[in-house]
Structure 1
């Protein structure tokens, strides 16, 4: 029964992280029509975290370990407040498509920061080649973006450059949080860890909003319906459905396979932004996107070959089994 469930759960979960996280960048741009960036981030994280925490507590789970709260607080602030909150700030000055393409450079930052595994990374010739190609693609993309006349972009090119720098910092924060979480795992269920991370990240985002003066100029009475729709999508789909799908997939599928969302999300965002929000993307940005994705693909190509070899071995075993069965019962 479990295997039959996984047959449809796996493709459904992949669809969630491919499509939902691609649309999330567009949902943030809608949310920004009525919410300042860190109020928007705090609201989506805190509401999602409280909903998850309430459900888990009703099922009898405990959340009284201070050590686990501390570990999840650090992870949540880095990955969610820093990694995603800074994306919301950046999307004030760049389009959702541009933000998604910038985040596609995340795997490069992961390799650069994870010094402990440098020997492993750079023993693979494809990884440094992929890094160099990805860097060239980033230059092409930024060059095309600074000269872009996208409607959502700021008139001041310096603000756009600052936004791209901040988006780069958001990728670094996400990587730092991921590495910390891997080295310092909390001793409780994954769902409880996620709930605690969301709650702490939401509180941290609200505090940043207070420090930046966002609350002083915020009025809930002037929020358009499109902004509320963006917030609801971010809460239920971005912060709960897609995040849970991602964590579950990591437990049942190889990480290299799950990480393919990095390549698909920008494409989904570009298509969704063009269809829904009439967001344009120029030739220079498209060239940059293609080169960046090629670079990211090369940094993981060895992993994919290993997965492919394992799949071929399984296929050969199945074929041998049916060949033997066919010979055994061959009619005279």
Structure 2
């Protein structure tokens, strides 16, 4: 990912083949930073900041800061987009942020951050089912991974009895992961702005505005008391703005435009390890054997799916071999992780 101090990706350079180093750097950022955002979101909602309004502030502030940086760096013309590009960015912002990330924040009022991350680990499985709906025929190993992964998700869904998680919150979280998967799957087809950073600005701005509306409909303004928010809550919100949005979400947008979706989906089974560890270390969240088992099953299922999808498919007819899988960057050296 390009951070706010890195060279911006220009529309006229978008056609260039992205380097493996850039793709793996962006993945590393999403792996680690998004794993920590589950903890930050939990701290925000525990600090009595209403979830939708808190996440709206996160994305609207980040969009304003990123837009200001782009204008100062390249001028106002940098932010010009067509109507279709604006519509595409708005659709992604609604699905990924307002409905996807918003659901995580609402659910984490009762769902521990580690459990939330484990449930979100099912995103690659939803992505695979969307591909099936689009007419693709996955391998048997892929189907095995899907069945195993959903079994783990089901185990996690009933583990609420061992935690403070409520079934409704778990259901909201699952719906949010489906919205995130839909947005991720169809993002490359929506005609987004060619500059990933510009696309990020509009996605965060529109998604954040939608969150304000949803928050108002949920009656959140009446529950917002700024004086009651402690320093820890403000610090967590600032972390979400700077690291979770400006850095990690920009990295994810870059990946959606430049990397295979099967590779992008691997973040979902790295994030839980980070989230569970930080939740246990900082918030003293109770990690039960059922949660660990369910999480391990989800990770196994997703790993099988990704492993199967990265293998070249054998040619069905020798005279007309199947095209190779989209270019997947080589695995990074161990030191890159």
Same fold (TM over 0.5): yes
- Pick one of 98, 103, 108 that aligns with 2:125: 108
Q: In the TM superposition, what is the alpha-carbon distance from 1:254 to its structure 2 partner?
A: 4.7
In 1, Cα distance between equivalents of 2:109 and 2:270:
23
SS in 2 for 1:120: coil
Normalised by the length of structure 1, the TM-score is 0.82
Q: Which has the larger radius of gyration?
A: 1
In 2, Cα distance between equivalents of 1:251 and 1:37:
29
Q: How does 1:277-288 map to 2 (within 5 A)?
A: 277-288=283-294
- Maintained 8 Å contact 1:142/1:285: no
2:142 matches 1:165: no
- Maintained 8 Å contact 1:111/1:118: no
Give ranges in structure 2 of 5+ residues lacking alignment.
1-6, 8-18, 313-324, 331-337
- Pick one of 185, 191, 196 that aligns with 2:191: 185
Residue 147 (structure 1) aligns with: 161
CA offsets, 1:180-236, max 9 Å, x none? 322212243111111001001111101111111111221211111111011011101
Residue 44 (structure 1) aligns with: 58
Q: How does 1:65-84 map to 2 (within 5 A)?
A: 65-84=82-101
2:225 matches 1:219: yes
In 2, Cα distance between equivalents of 1:244 and 1:169:
23
Structure richer in helix, relative to its length: 1
Number of residue pairs matched by the alignment: 296
In 1, Cα distance between equivalents of 2:329 and 2:20:
16
- Greater displacement, 106-115 / 211-220: 106-115
- Maintained 8 Å contact 2:118/2:272: yes
CA offsets, 1:107-132, max 9 Å, x none? 121222334434332xx111111111
- Greater displacement, 130-139 / 262-271: 130-139
Residue 25 (structure 1) aligns with: 38
Change beyond 3 A, Cα 1:200–1:14: same
In 1, Cα distance between equivalents of 2:290 and 2:85:
46
- Maintained 8 Å contact 2:142/2:309: no
CA offsets, 1:115-152, max 9 Å, x none? 4434332xx11111111111221222223x2221x3xx
Change beyond 3 A, Cα 1:301–1:248: same
Normalised by the length of structure 2, the TM-score is 0.81
Please provide the CA RMSD for this pair: 2.4
In 1, Cα distance between equivalents of 2:328 and 2:247:
30
In 1, Cα distance between equivalents of 2:38 and 2:220:
21
2:116 matches 1:99: yes
Q: How does 1:107-146 map to 2 (within 5 A)?
A: 107-121=124-138, 124-143=139-158, 145-146=159-160
Change beyond 3 A, Cα 1:174–1:202: same
- Greater displacement, 51-60 / 292-301: 51-60
In 1, Cα distance between equivalents of 2:203 and 2:88:
9
